[in-house]
Structure 1
Amino acid sequence: MLYSISDKNVQEIKISPGIMLLIFTKVGGHVPLKILSIEDGTVLKSFSHLLHRNKKVDFIEQFNEKLLVKQENENLQILDVRNSELTEVSKNEFMTPSAFIFLYENQLFLTFRNRTVAVWNFRGELVTSFEDHLLWHPDCNTNNIYITSDQDLIISYCKADSDDPLSEGNGSINISNILTGKCLAKIRASNGFPVEKQCSCCDVECGCRSKVQSSSSRIRSTVAEALEDITALFYDEERNEIYTGNRYG
């Protein structure tokens, strides 16, 4: 064992590359915080952040040297712990999300709220809104979301188009560019339905049509099943393959 942390006042621990943030029990109008080295537990910085009294803390998140603090019905605060520079984002522009994904390569972060995805920078500016990326689950399930290693694409299980005749009960897998918000590709149940070819047989008893219909039905069924109630999604970037899992296994 390298080291241990034993303090009954530690309420939460946040991990970033190389460092961890200890969030302690709120004291009066502030919350004590410590940033430690993950390697050996050395305290790199110890400080307190002023809070609004009698307001619930929605979240405290850490991204490298940036600290994100949001209280109920208050503005988002982005604190640079190196120089104590504070940026605020209006509560009307930034509402408390159900989940975050930090993009360390791009110095951005994704927020998920009410099936929608947005991209923000640490100046508190909205970078991207997505044109066609309405998530299947109202409360974000990040098991159904994959970010590529270059952090340029987001692949998610989304609500299918209402005009897709095969989408009833199924979603679609949408692939969008994180920086532009453009939808680049979409996998739907109807994607697996092949075009029926004209039979060249002259025999009126020919069974080609029934064989094609049977094959089409099997393919359509397989794609539809793969898009039904997805609980896990993974993209193999080397093979360019998407794997899905659902509650049926």
Structure 2
Amino acid sequence: MEGRRITASPRPCSGRRVVAKKRPRGGLDGFVNSVKKLQRREISSKRDRSFSMSDAQERFRNIRLQEEYDTLDPKGYCPLSLPFFKKRSKIIEIVAAHDIVFALAQSGICAAFSRETNERICFLNVGPDEVIRSLFYNKNNDSLITVSVYASDNFSSLKCRTTRIEYIRRAQPDAGFALFESESLKWPGFVEFDDVNGKVLTYSAQDSIYKVFDLKNYTMLYSISDKNVQEIKISPGIMLLIFMKTHGSVPLKILSIEDGTVLKSFSHLLHRNKKVDFIEQFNEKLLVEQENENLQILDVRTSELTEVSRTEFMTPSAFIFLYENQLFLTFRNRTVAVWNFRGELVTSFEDHLLWHHDCNTNNIYITSDQDLIISYCKAESDEPISDGNVGSINISNILTGKCLAKINASNTLPMGECSCSASCGGRNCNSKKRIKASRIRSTMAEALEDITALFYDEERNEIYTGNRLGLVHVWSN
């Protein structure tokens, strides 16, 4: 669902900036050709996006716990050599492609499960010392890219490998091939996958060179070699180069993502001796905020500047840009808000207090139509089970902030509905009982305890969650 940047840090890194993928509408005048290419690439035969609240509620009606997968063999057996692979570890990432669910544990072990047979297909770790750091499904060639580090290299360099989904389905994860072998991706190097533009950005810290590759065939398109580049931000059709501060301003360049052509060069004035909290780019809009200063929204086409009071816009811990709706989400202190580019608050969410303090999009999902947000949330205080480590999965409308459906330990049906003849509102249903299925050992409450990763499969209308024990649960109707 996002442009994902993986650093060569010994530990997984979740970046501040996350992109909600969707075809954009418009952009800078000079970017029209790039945007048209992007629109053509993104056009599909998806259903009409104008869902009402009742339609969304219907999609999640009767959703309940259906399956349980375990990334660790119950007998403790693991074919891989590293000792921490044999211990339970929390799920940090879930990706689904067609009928396969991929679950990555913090230990670095990654398993693939079939939704058709409900069996584990294989582990994706090819080498005995391979620790997988992140996953990326490449829809351009129906393959899964794994980003790994290795014990033999002291876990210091990122290595990428692509494997077609059909090989994984045949339990042949070693049938893939390595990517970007010429690049030295040691810390602070990184690789970033940009699904919107169909590009890959790599940074080799060893020689301070950024390179852009085509996500379809992995050919290198161009490189950027400038030691003064401090950061690169990617938007539909363009890249923003942020340079080192000089004399109270920050030099900026906007490049075409397709060929690296410089479309605009300019500088943005800054307050001297004040830390820059963030600089973000969204099409023609530049968002800049410094410590204890107002948010500035600059239109780089017209140079029009809008300021938002720092008492109204508090510095968020993360953004999600909604390209289809020309809006952006902010995350701060476990709350979510929707803003427009006039600096106006559009939506505050009801009953959507996130469980985790740090915003990690591995436990947040934005639908491709950008109408719904699905998150792991804190249970309300008046719910029967609201203490301990048990939360709920909340489905909310992004434009209205209304909570449309909720999966919690006391009621697995949306908004208090019940399918039983007694219309008990969930009180007499099996949410507190163990499901009578051979592979499901968890109760509803246990499955909703300490959820560490969440993914929604829009094709199958299923939610997959992972927890601290390395278990994956399937929620379906």
TM-score (norm 1): 0.89
Q: Which residue of 1 aligns with 2:366?
A: 147
Measure how far apart 1:225 and its partner are: 2.5
Corresponding residue to 1:217 among 422, 425, 433: 433
Which residue matches 1:181? Answer: 401
Give the Cα separation in 1 of the matches to 2:459 and 2:287: 35
* Structure 2 residue matching 1:190: 3-state secondary structure: coil
Shift in CA distance, 240/56, structure 1 to aligned 2, threshold 3 Å: same
Partner SS for 1:54: coil
The answer to whether the aligner puts 1:229 opposite 2:440 as a matched pair is no
Deviations 1:207-246 (A, max 9, x none): xxxxx99995213943223212112111111221111112
- Would you say the 8 A contact 2:432–2:444 is kept in 1? no
- Residue 165 of structure 1 and its aligned partner are, at CA, apart by 2.8
Q: For 1:240 and 1:115, locate their aligned partners in 2 and report how far apart those are by CA, in whole Å.
A: 26
Higher Rg: 1
- Quote the offset at 1:50 in angstroms: 0.3
Q: Which of 374, 390, 408 is matched with 1:170 structurally?
A: 390
Aligned to 1:9: 228
Give the Å deviation of 1:30.
0.1
CA 1:15–1:195 in structure 2 vs 1: closer, same or farther (change >3 Å)? closer
| Aligned counterpart, 1:241 | 462
Distance 1:215 1:123, change over 3 A: closer
Query: Is the 2:238–2:255 contact (alpha carbons within 8 Å) kept by the matching residues of 1?
Result: yes
> Over aligned residues, Cα RMSD in angstroms?
2.3
Shift in CA distance, 195/128, structure 1 to aligned 2, threshold 3 Å = closer
- Aligned residue identity for 1:152: D
- The DSSP-based 3-state class of the residue aligned with 2:352 is coil
Task: Map 1:35-46 onto structure 2 (within 5 A).
Answer: 35-46=254-265
In the comparison of the two structures, how many residue pairs are matched?
Answer: 236
Q: Distance in 1 between matches of 2:429 and 2:282?
A: 54
Residues 115, 216 of structure 1: alpha-carbon distance in 2 compared, 3 angstrom cutoff: closer
Judged with a 3 Å threshold, the aligned counterparts in structure 2 of structure 1 residues 222 and 63 are, in CA distance, closer, same or farther, namely same
What residue in structure 2 maps to residue 138 of structure 1?
A: 357
Residue 129 of structure 1, CA deviation: 0.5
| Residue of structure 2 in register with 1:209 after alignment | none
Paired residues of 2:253 and 2:266 also in contact (CA < 8 A): yes
Greater relative contact order, per chain length (Cα 8 Å cut-off, separation 6+): 2
Shift of the 192–95 alpha-carbon distance from structure 1 to 2, 3 Å rule, reads closer
Q: Partner residue of 2:379? A: 160
User: C-alpha displacement at 1:163, in angstroms?
Assistant: 2.5
| Secondary structure in 2 matching 1:143 | helix
Distance 2:326 2:335 in 1: 20
CA apart distance, 1:10: 0.6
Instruction: Identify the residue that residue 191 of structure 1 maps to in structure 2.
Output: 411
- Structure 1 residue runs of 5 or longer lacking an equivalent are 199-211
1:192, distance to aligned residue in structure 2 (A): 4.5
2:460 counterpart letter in structure 1:
R
Distance change in 2, residues 1:3/1:179 (3 Å): same
CA deviations 1:190-215 (Å, max 9, x no partner) are: 125999999xxxxxxxxxxxxx9999
**Structure 1 SS opposite 2:224:** coil
Tell me by how many angstroms 1:247 deviates: 2.3
Of 219-228 and 112-121, more deviation after overlay is shown by 219-228
- Return the letter of the residue paired with 2:364: I
For 1:128 and 1:179, how far apart are their aligned partners in 2?
Answer: 6
Deviation for aligned residue 1:166 = 3.0
3-state SS of paired residue (1:164): coil
Which residue identity does 1:218 align to in structure 2? R
Deviations 1:119-160 (A, max 9, x none): 000001000001110000122121111111111111111001
Distance 1:62 1:213 in 2: 49
Of 165-174 and 8-17, more deviation after overlay is shown by 165-174
The Cα shift of 1:80 comes to 0.5
Cα distance per residue 1:19-42 (max 9 Å; x no partner): 110100000200000111111110
Once the two structures are superposed, the pairs formed by residues 12-91 of structure 1 within 5 Å of their partners are: 12-91=231-310
1:2 is paired with a residue of what secondary structure?
Answer: strand
1:57-111 deviations in Å (ceiling 9; x for gaps): 0000000110000001000000001111100000000010000000000000000
1:119 to 1:81, Cα distance in 2 relative to 1, 3 A: same
Letter in 2 for 1:19: I
* Secondary structure in 1 matching 2:221: coil
The residue type equivalent to 2:446 in the other structure is E
Change (3 A) 1:216 1:173: closer
Partner of 1:206: none
Amino acid at match of 1:117: V
2: distance between equivalents of 1:191 and 1:243?
18
Counterparts in 2 of 1:24 and 1:191: CA distance versus 1, 3 Å: same
Quick one: percent identity of the two aligned structures?
A: 87
8 Å CA contact 2:411, 2:431 repeated in 1: no
